[in-house]
Structures are given as C-alpha cells and as structure tokens.
Amino acid sequence: MNILFVCTGNICRSPAAEFMLRDALAHAEDSSGAIISSAGTTGMTGYGMDPRSLAYLGAREIDGAGFTARRVNRKILKSADLVIGLDQSHVDACLTIDPSALSRAFRLHQLAEWHRSGNLHAVSELPTVRRPLPPVTGDHPDPIGFTSTEDYTRALDGIAADVREVTALLVPVTAQK
C-alpha cells in the first residue's frame, strides 16, 4: 500500500506524520510493505523539515534527517492508494488536482475518529463503509507560525495520536509489538 500524507508546505505536519507512521509500522510484525511518503499543496520543494518537527521526532528516537519537501502533483496522487490530508483544504486541493482520488482521500483526524469510535476497523473497509460513516469535524492546525514550543509540541502530539489510530487501521492489533 502506498500512503501519502499531505499538508501545506510539506515541512511540518505531513513529514512528521510520514516519519511517525513509518516508525510505527517498522515496529509492527506485519507492516504489509507499506510505502509512506508526504507532499505539500504549496510544497516548499527542496526544503528540509522544520527544525521543530525534527526535534519532536528526535525526542521520540525517530530520525527525520535527510527529508526533502516536495509539492503534490497528479503523478504522486495517482500512485497513492491512500491520501491523508492534515486538514480539509489539503483533501480539497488533492481532489482538484486529481478528482479520481475521491475514493481514497481522507483527513487524518477523520480516519482516526472513525477508528476510535469503532466505525472503522481496517483501511480495507473504506470502499464498503465510507457512505454510512458519520461526519467528523476537526483538523490539525498548521504550526508553522507558532512561537511557543509548547503549542508546536501540542500540535504534533495531536498528529501523533491520530497516526497511532491509522497504524491500528493498517496493522491488526495482534501484529503490533
């Protein structure tokens, strides 16, 4: 499965989510060979990850060094089996670029809440249960302008909590270490 996280600049939220999910799957017995990547709707192509996101990952023993931001495009979207936007504007931008992504584009918080509520148990259920799933509000705020380390950390903590839920949708609980 090819999973794509999308945010605005691809330097804060989506790369952090990308590396957190990679790490979680690496610690699972059955990661199903997933390919995890990220891109931005206005992608700051060629830039590295925001130092605060790198520090957040580093504090959790996740190495985000060597990351390079890129801008989402039709080719990237076509190759993704699951597109996960950090907020609705990212999903909308992806659907503008590639309307055929409608059946595989969701918000991170949306997927996480569906799992938390027991309405969704595996990503493989999405094609059959999407319509009856309840609406979910809430997105992950863009921390790029946050001046407080605590606020930035809180924003990434929210992403980390939702990434844990997505991990559970990808890997059966029995396969997680």
The token pair at 32 is 């199903």
Residue 74: the pLDDT is: 98
Consecutive H or E run containing 101: none
Residue 149, judged by CB atoms within 10 A of its CB (0-12, 13-18, 19+), counts as exposed
Consecutive H or E run containing 162: helix 149-170
CATH number at residue 119: 3.40.50.2300
Domain that holds residue 89: 2-175
Distance CA 96, CA 119 (A): 28
The token pair at 26 is 């690496």
Q: What is the pLDDT of residues 34-45, one digit of tens each?
A: 999 999 999 799
What's the Cα-to-Cα distance from 41 to each of 30, 103, 110, 111, 175, rounded to whole Å? 31, 19, 19, 20, 34
Distance CA 108, CA 6 (A): 10
Distance CA 118, CA 154 (A): 25
Residue 177: the pLDDT is: 43
Are 41 and 93 contacting, i.e. CB atoms less than 8 angstroms apart? yes
Residue 81: the pLDDT is: 96
Domain count for the chain: 1
Residue 159: the pLDDT is: 98
**Residue 28: which residues within 8 A CB-CB, separation 6 or more?**
167, 171, 175, 176, 177
In the chain, DSSP assigns E strands to: 2-7, 35-40, 82-85, 105-107
pLDDT (tens place) for every residue of the chain, 177 residues total: 999 999 999 999 999 999 999 999 998 866 568 999 999 999 799 999 999 999 999 999 999 999 999 999 999 999 999 999 999 999 999 999 999 999 999 999 999 999 999 999 999 998 877 667 888 888 898 888 898 999 999 999 999 999 999 999 998 654 444
